[in-house]
Amino acid sequence: MALPDPAPVIELIEAFRRSKTMFTAVSLGVFDRLPATAAELAPALSVHPDALATLLDGCAALGLLTKADGVYSNAPVAATYLRSDSPQTLRGYVRYSDEALYPMWAHLDDAVREGTPRWSQTFGLNGPIFSAFFRTEQAMREFTLGMHGFGVMTSPAVVAAFDLSRFHKLVDLGGATGHLAIAACERYAALRGVVVDLAPVVPAAQEQIALSPAVDRLDAIAGNFFEDVLPEADLFALGQVLHDWSEAKIAQLLRRIFDRLPPGGGLLIAERLLNEDGVGPIPTNMQSINMLVCTEGKERSPSEYERLLRAAGFTQVEARRTGTPRDAVLAIKSPA
């Protein structure tokens, strides 16, 4: 009997090498300084020229760079997502993946044994990850703008997954740069939007709002959605928020939202959705493991979200796949 193809195992053995190649190139600032030869670039980056050429050749083999007559240039995918000056940049999230996630994933076995995140083990940090790891304004800003790149890719599809035209005011809780509220207000001409996030994040949201044609219908304010009085709204949004938390905290937050909504009001959730049996899509399973390593949360299936939402009081719940890294769930509070 023929042996099975070992390619899936070999690809997984080597997968971290590909990630770390890109991480290192981003960390060094390679993509911001091209086109150039390795010899030209090495002094500017304070690295060994031959070693840099090896790294650049690897990036070219991965499709991130092109090489002609010894000159390396960004491929379109790198120019769009890996340069720091691109509106769609994912550089901040790449840096976060390199500096935070990569070291913590080395302790995945302990996370599975204990069922707890690895921040303390890896970095000696205690407390919520967002306040502990992002200790400087620049670190928070770079991560936030990195997540903005994902938001630009996904939020237009999320707000288009359902007809939201009946709603008048959207409050996006933990809305970061406001990409979801911006996409919603740009799609629905009568909708007003408010982004609520921690004070250090608000300036980044204000910057992005100022660039939107819907700027006159958007605002960003500081707030803690677990503690502060929620703004008045007939539609709340949670974008990649629920997957961070335990079910007890999710129940608390959903109930706060439900109690604040008027009859007929709604909650729009943007999260990766697992298949009902918990197996697939692969990126969602990998993100769920990432949540195990980083937070007290996980990714969930449509029925799991429906259970949580109905327990909070919502009577109508519908989930839809968007074809992007974030899917959509809409929950409605019963009309009076």
326 vs 158: CA distance, rounded Å: 7
Tally: H helices and E strands in the chain? 15, 10
Question: Which member of 107, 168, 179, 243 is catalytic?
Answer: 243
Q: How many other C-beta atoms lie within 10 A of the C-beta of residue 8? A: 9
Concerning whether 48 is annotated as a catalytic residue, the answer is no
Alpha helices (runs of H) in the chain, residue ranges in sequence order: 7-28, 38-45, 49-61, 76-81, 91-96, 102-105, 108-114, 119-123, 129-132, 137-160, 179-187, 202-210, 247-260, 282-294, 302-312
Quick check: 125 and 104 in contact, CB under 8 A? no
271 vs 260: CA distance, rounded Å: 22
Show Cβ contacts of residue 64 under 8 Å, excluding neighbours closer than 6 positions: 22, 25, 31, 74, 75, 77, 78, 82
Give catalytic residue positions: 243
